[in-house]
Chain A
Amino acid sequence: MRDRISIALQVNGKPYRLEVEPRRLLADVLRRDLGFTGVHLGCEHGVCGACTVLLDGELVRSCLMFAVQADGCEILTVEGLNASGDLHPIQRAFIEEFGFQCGFCTPGMILAAYRLLQERPRPSAEEIRRALAGNLCRCTGYADILRSVQRAAVLLAEAEETRAP
């Protein structure tokens, strides 16, 4: 029963190979086995969104997937956003606008915002609310989070401009 399965994951650009029990959740493998503690576990039934990561470029709940299912997939956690050492513009925006408070929901919020801003660089307030509706903030700091995402859109646009010749 306690068989272990060999899997390969690409996390934040780096390859990993490990053996896991099939019942290990992707969230636990990322957090405990690989040390990406930015993956937070709140409810473990898909409601709170704190464990959100990108799997092959799309948002998923890492508490609702077994790690064996992610075999061969590419994963982005919040740690992958500042792999170069500098804070990502979305992270800077959350600091500037105080969008973090206790910080527990922040990684999920930031990744949901990241995916939204990829699709819609200048989202309306309503679009931001809809995109982040699946991420709960227990400090109820939603107004600051909304402002943070709006600020992030501005910072990303500026970064884009400075990169252009």
Chain B
Amino acid sequence: MKPAPFRYVRPQTREEGLEALARYGEDAKVLAGGQSLVPLMNLRLARPKVLVDINRIPALGILERRDGELVLGALVRHRQLEGDPRVWEACPILSRAAACIGYPAIRNRGTVGGSLAHADPAAELGCVLLATGAVVVLESSRGRREVRIEDLFVGPYTTCIRPDELLVEVRIPAWREGTRWGFAEFTRHEGGFALALAACVVHLDGEGKVTSARVAVGGVSPLPVRLPEAEKSLRGAGLSKEGIAQAAACALSLEDYDDVHAPAWHRRQLGRWLLLQALQQAAGGGS
């Protein structure tokens, strides 16, 4: 099938982009990499009246280290995350996860902002950014607000981004001494959509004690979630064999999520198994 007709707007600056969104509001959709939106339009599951193509706004393509943070503009492509040495250095779990998104042709176009705004429950970036404690910056012609990544997702394919708002950048705390991480996902074939995935970022003090832990699972619930129970148990028991098993078991109590691909019980078991793998990677010293 082919997309229904739409009006095409191509702003050259952030201000022009925000003006367009303010003007067209709910009639408009932002077009970034298009790797999720264009399939929906080709199938006519989405029929936006106006497309605001942000690809020619240079300010949205930034990738930099700033005040102990890694700052990613909305237009940073998955291929950049996968290969840029600054990302590997500041937040390696992000590069590792980006390499699992679709295929090279998809990663060349798909963007950080697009993936987050699409809010697929099993998307790699949403889950991994939950584990890193990222902050998302949203702008509109009314002003600017910062949202914690856990507040961005409100349901499957649903975020708190308002129709006139643009996700402009993501800020991620850069790695510090003693940071350990792990990432694991299950797909039915190379590059395919993940059925479930798990990510963890754990900080250890000089004696190997867990000082903080962030654990996230995707594809098991209707939206990617943190597991506060698992984090709490890791802070008590550490990255011992028992500690890991206890934390991973927390995935079994997640909310029901069934779809055509797998029943809820299967997703929860997968979540536990993947979390176990991710935590074992972290215990092993990194990845």
B-binding residues in A (CB < 8 A): 1-3, 5, 21-23, 25, 28, 44-46, 49, 52, 55, 58-61, 63-66, 68-69, 112, 115, 129-131, 133-134
What is the minimal beta-carbon distance from B105 to any residue of chain A, in angstroms? 4
Residue B232 is within 8 A (CB to CB) of chain A in the complex: no
- A133-B2 CB under 8 A given contacts A59-B108, A60-B108: no
- Whether B6 contacts A59 by the Cβ 8 Å rule is no
A-binding residues in B (CB < 8 A): 1-8, 10, 31, 34-35, 38-39, 42-43, 51, 53, 55, 79, 102-106, 108-109, 189-191
- Whether B5 contacts A23 by the Cβ 8 Å rule is yes
CA distance A60 to B35 in the complex (A): 10
Chain B hits for A66, CB < 8 A: 3, 8, 31, 34, 38, 51, 53
CA distance A115 to B6 in the complex (A): 33
CA distance A13 to B102 in the complex (A): 29
- Whether B108 contacts A45 by the Cβ 8 Å rule is no
What is the minimal beta-carbon distance from B109 to any residue of chain A, in angstroms? 6
What is the minimal beta-carbon distance from B222 to any residue of chain A, in angstroms? 22
- A1-B106 CB under 8 A given contacts A45-B43, A64-B39, A134-B191: no
CA distance A146 to B43 in the complex (A): 32
Chain B hits for A58, CB < 8 A: 79, 108
Q: Is the interface of B mostly helix, strand, loop or mixed?
A: loop
- A46-B7 CB under 8 A given contacts A61-B109, A69-B55, A133-B189: no
- Whether B104 contacts A46 by the Cβ 8 Å rule is no
- Whether A46 contacts B51 by the Cβ 8 Å rule is no
- Whether B109 contacts A65 by the Cβ 8 Å rule is yes
- Given A1-B7, A44-B43, A63-B38, 12 more contacts at CB 8 Å? A22-B7, A22-B51, A23-B2, A25-B2, A28-B2, A49-B103, A58-B108, A60-B105, A64-B35, A64-B109, A133-B189, A134-B103
- Whether A23 contacts B4 by the Cβ 8 Å rule is yes
Chain A hits for B35, CB < 8 A: 46, 61, 64
Chain A hits for B1, CB < 8 A: 44
Chain A hits for B105, CB < 8 A: 49, 52, 59-61, 112, 134
Chain B hits for A131, CB < 8 A: 104
Contact of A44 among B5, B42, B109 (CB under 8 A): B42
Closest A residue by C-beta to B39: A45
CA distance A131 to B8 in the complex (A): 33
Contact of B102 among A44, A63, A134 (CB under 8 A): A134
Chain B hits for A68, CB < 8 A: 8, 10, 53
Contact of B103 among A2, A5, A133 (CB under 8 A): A133
Chain A hits for B5, CB < 8 A: 1-2, 21-23
Chain A hits for B7, CB < 8 A: 1, 3, 22
CA distance A112 to B107 in the complex (A): 13
CA distance A5 to B105 in the complex (A): 26
Give me 26 A-to-B residue pairs in the complex whose CB atoms sit less than 8 angstroms apart, sorted by A's number: A2-B5, A22-B5, A22-B6, A22-B7, A22-B51, A25-B3, A28-B2, A45-B42, A45-B43, A46-B38, A46-B39, A46-B102, A52-B105, A55-B108, A58-B79, A59-B105, A61-B105, A64-B34, A64-B109, A66-B31, A68-B10, A69-B31, A130-B190, A134-B102, A134-B103, A134-B106
CA distance A22 to B34 in the complex (A): 14
The residue in A46, A58, A130 that gathers the most chain B C-beta atoms within 10 A of its C-beta is A46
Chain B hits for A46, CB < 8 A: 35, 38-39, 102, 106
- Whether B190 contacts A129 by the Cβ 8 Å rule is yes
CA distance A61 to B8 in the complex (A): 20
Give the 7 A-B CB pairs with smallest separation, nearest first.
A134-B103, A22-B8, A45-B39, A133-B190, A59-B105, A64-B38, A23-B3
CA distance A129 to B104 in the complex (A): 12
Closest A residue by C-beta to B77: A58
